[in-house]
Amino acid sequence: TAASAKVNNGGAEWLDVRLPAEYDSAHIRGATHMPLIFLRMKVDELDQMKNYILYCDTERRSSSASYILSGKGFKTSVLLNGIKDAPPEDLEGNNV
């Protein structure tokens, strides 16, 4: 995908905003994990110079996270259709 290419060439970083159990089950290799419920508290741990590609299962949480981060000056985009559109070879976790 175009998103994978952007990450692979260093132009962006994956940000998984799902719950810990979902992340442990399957996530995109190399993704930063920050559940949406903790995003406002932990936003200082993210690098404002990076472009983050957010994902969840359905786009709903990642869209909310994108809204929050954009309001704080971050450059974000959302992976359409969530993790199910990620290439299987890019996934790792307990249920991959």
pLDDT tens, position by position, 7-22: 989 999 999 999 999 9
pLDDT tens, position by position, 76-86: 999 999 999 88
pLDDT tens, position by position, 60-70: 999 999 999 99
Q: In sequence order, which residues have a C-beta less than 8 Å from that of residue 79 and are 6 or more positions away? A: 3, 53, 54, 55, 59, 62, 85, 86
